[in-house]
């Protein structure tokens, strides 16, 4: 890219500068599916100690969701729910939710955002924690959906013998959803 904006402080930018940047950012956004797929592939080399890699876990979670008849948005959520592990191991769920939020319904991004808390039910008591921390959200309209996501798909997806679908099977879904026009007005640039 040879062209640059005319400013060194945003407040000095012109309409032409921001129209140019808007176009540049839209072109960059069109590459999002490729970046998401690359990060998913990188999960193959994340956190050791589990009987499957983090990518294997993600594929298994998404495969279980697909075979259970979950809709495309929930299948995508199952695939990318741990995508934040690489950069934010202590708040990975919030990172994954932020990535998916502009492209899926609110329920799905909430499930992804809360799955980390809900997953503690299965292990934190072994570390001296309160396994019922998720109950502070009991009564939330999507509490049961998140608990079901964790029970049916996430916590059960560490089986090296489970016949998971390969990433290539989910690639069209990743491309379709991440190429959608973002639905949140905060992500819609002026024309």
Residue 52 covered by a domain? yes
Nearest to 56 by CA among 146, 167, 173, 151: 167
CA 153, 60, 106, 136 torsion-angle sign: positive
Residue 130 covered by a domain? yes
How confident is the prediction for the chain on average, in pLDDT?
94
Residues with Cβ within 8 Å of 178's Cβ and at least 6 positions away in sequence, in order, are 32, 33, 36, 103
Q: How many domains does the chain have?
A: 1
Domain residues for 50? 20-181
In which residue are the tokens 């998404």 written?
Answer: 62
**Is residue 118 within 8 Å of residue 132, measured between CB atoms?**
no
Residue 14 covered by a domain? no
pTM above 0.85, yes or no: yes
pLDDT digits (tens, 9 = 90+) for 135-163: 999 999 999 999 999 999 999 999 999 99
Residue 72 covered by a domain? yes
Task: Give the pLDDT band of residue 18 (cuts 50, 70, 90).
Answer: very high
Residue 96 covered by a domain? yes
Residue 188 covered by a domain? no
For position 174, which CATH number holds? Answer: 1.10.3210.10
Alpha carbons within 13 angstroms on the beta-carbon side of residue 139 total: 3
Residue 4 covered by a domain? no
CA terminus-to-terminus distance, the chain: 22
pLDDT digits (tens, 9 = 90+) for 75-111: 999 999 999 999 999 999 999 999 999 999 999 999 9
Residue 12 covered by a domain? no
Task: Give the pLDDT band of residue 184 (cuts 50, 70, 90).
Answer: low
Of the chain, the percentage scoring pLDDT greater than 90 comes to: 91
3-state DSSP helix/strand/coil % of the chain, to nearest 5: 65, 0, 35
Residues with Cβ within 8 Å of 120's Cβ and at least 6 positions away in sequence, in order, are 129, 131, 133, 134
- Backbone φ/ψ region at 4: left (φ over 0), alpha (ψ -120 to 50), beta: beta
Of the chain, the percentage scoring pLDDT greater than 70 comes to: 95
CA 106, 112, 114, 118 torsion-angle sign: positive
Look at 15-29, 61-75, 128-142 and tell me which has the smallest mean pLDDT. 15-29
């Amino acid at each position: 890219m040879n062209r640059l904006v005319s400013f060194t402080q945003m407040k000095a930018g012109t309409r032409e500068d921001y129209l140019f940047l808007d176009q540049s950012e839209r072109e960059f956004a069109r590459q999002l599916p490729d970046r998401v797929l690359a990060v998913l592939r990188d999960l193959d080399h994340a956190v050791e100690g589990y009987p499957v890699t983090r990518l294997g876990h993600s594929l298994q979670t998404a495969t279980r969701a697909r075979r259970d008849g979950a809709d495309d948005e929930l299948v995508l959520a199952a695939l990318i729910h741990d995508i934040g592990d690489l950069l934010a191991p202590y708040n990975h769920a919030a990172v994954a939710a932020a990535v998916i939020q502009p492209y899926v319904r609110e329920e799905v991004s909430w499930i992804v955002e809360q799955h980390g808390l809900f997953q503690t039910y299965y292990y934190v008591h072994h570390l001296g924690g309160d396994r019922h921390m998720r109950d502070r959200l009991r009564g939330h309209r999507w509490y049961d959906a998140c608990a079901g996501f964790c029970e049916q798909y996430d916590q059960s997806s560490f089986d090296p013998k489970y016949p998971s679908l390969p990433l290539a099977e989910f690639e069209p879904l990743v491309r379709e959803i991440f190429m959608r026009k973002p639905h949140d007005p905060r992500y819609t640039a002026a024309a």
